[in-house]
């Protein structure tokens, strides 16, 4: 029916996921079979797991899956590098072997049936297809509020991200090749992909709750991700500081004029409280601004080192080293 059958790689970062992998791996395999059966993708399509330095049996499970069924492949990072780096490692590994990738979490939260629409969109000429959550009723109130606040703050700070889109997306080979040119160490993929451009669209899906295991994204990590996202995509905070500095300067100038006038009129009283208040206020603002600027300098420091973003220690399709 469709003449061109692309090789699809489903790229899945896994960190301590021994409870969910045995369940969800079958779901991913069935999805590949169904799509291949419908002639939408090539039968050579694969599921590529990235073991992100898990401390449990995740890698052993992946190796076993790869042994039993050639549709499963896996790579193992040399240590835990975090979700974004693990995902990039998988995408870069898949890039040379496929026509399209779909990245998804391995916990079964994202509805895999949205993949059909994603592949259809690719056939219609899209290079990037964002999976967007239709609603969040399965998330707790806290997770929903913090997560949606995250997108609003990100956009207000100039880091343009697709609302309610996490890392469930289709990327074509062409988009991946362009993404490979982005050498930054501070990774925030959902901010980087829109920068790559190309024709894109969104597919809506419902997000379920985790099948098993626990979320690896507590509030602390979400805040860190948001902060990373803002500072690696935008210099808006520094501009805000400049604006703030200007505002405080104007107010101070008015204050000086006022003080001089008061002094000339002879109405001055020893104002310990007001002096202390101004000193504290200025000190606080300056420290805050220094902190934000320092954060950027830290980022520059890490970027100048240009350290590798991941290191692949093992691949399921490579023979073990000879004894």
Note the residues at the interface with Mg ion (CB under 5 A): 105, 107, 109
Surface-to-core class of residue 80, CB atoms within 10 Å of its CB (0-12 exposed, 13-18 middle, 19+ buried): middle
Shortest distance, position 144 Cβ to ligand UDP, whole Å: 12
End-to-end CA distance of the chain: 50
Element (H, E) at 48: strand 46-51
Shortest spacing between CB 121 and ligand UDP, in angstroms: 23
User: Closer CB to ligand UDP, residue 92 or residue 278?
Assistant: 92
- Provide the minimum distance between the beta carbon of 205 and Mg ion in the complex, in angstroms, as a whole number: 14
If we measure between CA atoms, which residue out of 48, 179, 42, 201 comes closest to residue 127?
201
Element housing 204 (H / E): strand 200-205
Residues forming the site for ligand UDP (CB under 6 A): 13-15, 17, 52, 80, 82-83, 86, 105-107, 109, 215-217
**Residue 80 near which of ligand UDP, Mg ion, none (CB within 5-8 Å, type-dependent):** ligand UDP
Closest CB to Mg ion among residues 109, 164:
109
Of Mg ion, ligand UDP, none, which one does residue 217 interact with (CB within 5 to 8 Å by kind)?
ligand UDP
Cβ 73 to ligand UDP, closest distance in Å? Answer: 16
State which residue, 82 or 131, has the beta carbon closest to ligand UDP.
82
Q: How far is the CB of 273 from ligand UDP (least distance, A)?
A: 48
Apex CA 230: angle with CA 227 and CA 231, to 5°? 85
Can you say whether the dihedral through the CA atoms of 64, 67, 71, 77 is positive or negative? positive
Helix (H) or strand (E) holding 231: helix 219-233
Distance separating alpha carbons of residues 36 and 5, to the nearest angstrom = 8
Q: Which is nearer to Mg ion, 51 or 109 (CB)?
A: 109
Residue 106 touches which member of Mg ion, ligand UDP, none, C-beta under 5-8 Å by kind: ligand UDP
């Amino acid at each position: 029916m469709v003449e061109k059958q692309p090789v699809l790689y489903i790229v899945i970062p896994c960190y301590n996921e021994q409870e969910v992998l045995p369940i969800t791996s079958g779901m991913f395999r069935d999805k590949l079979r169904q799509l291949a059966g419908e002639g939408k993708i090539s039968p050579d399509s694969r599921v590529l797991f990235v073991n992100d330095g898990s401390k449990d049996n995740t890698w052993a499970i992946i190796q076993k899956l790869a042994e039993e069924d050639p549709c499963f492949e896996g790579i193992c990072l040399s240590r835990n590098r975090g979700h974004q780096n693990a995902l990039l490692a998988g995408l870069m590994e898949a890039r040379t072997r496929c026509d399209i990738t779909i990245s998804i979490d391995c916990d079964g939260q994202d509805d895999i049936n949205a993949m059909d629409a994603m592949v259809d969109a690719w056939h219609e000429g899209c290079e990037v297809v964002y999976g967007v959550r239709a609603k969040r009723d399965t998330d707790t109130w806290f997770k929903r509020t913090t997560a949606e606040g995250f997108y609003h703050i990100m956009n207000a700070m100039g880091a343009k991200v697709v609302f309610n889109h996490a890392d469930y997306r289709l990327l074509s080979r062409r988009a991946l090749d362009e993404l490979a040119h982005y050498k930054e160490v501070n990774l925030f993929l959902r901010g980087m992909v829109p920068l790559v451009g190309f024709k894109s669209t969104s597919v809506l899906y419902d997000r379920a709750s985790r099948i098993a295991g626990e979320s690896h994204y507590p509030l602390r990590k979400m805040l860190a991700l948001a902060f990373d996202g803002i500072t690696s995509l935008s210099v808006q905070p520094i501009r805000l500081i400049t604006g703030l500095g200007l505002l405080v300067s104007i107010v101070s100038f008015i204050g000086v004029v006022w003080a001089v006038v008061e002094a000339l009129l002879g109405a001055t009283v020893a104002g310990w409280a007001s002096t202390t208040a101004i000193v504290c206020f200025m000190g606080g603002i300056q420290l805050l601004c220094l902190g934000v600027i320092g954060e950027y300098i830290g980022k520059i420091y890490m970027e100048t080192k240009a350290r590798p973003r991941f290191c692949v220690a093992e691949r399921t399709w490579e023979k073990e080293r000879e004894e």
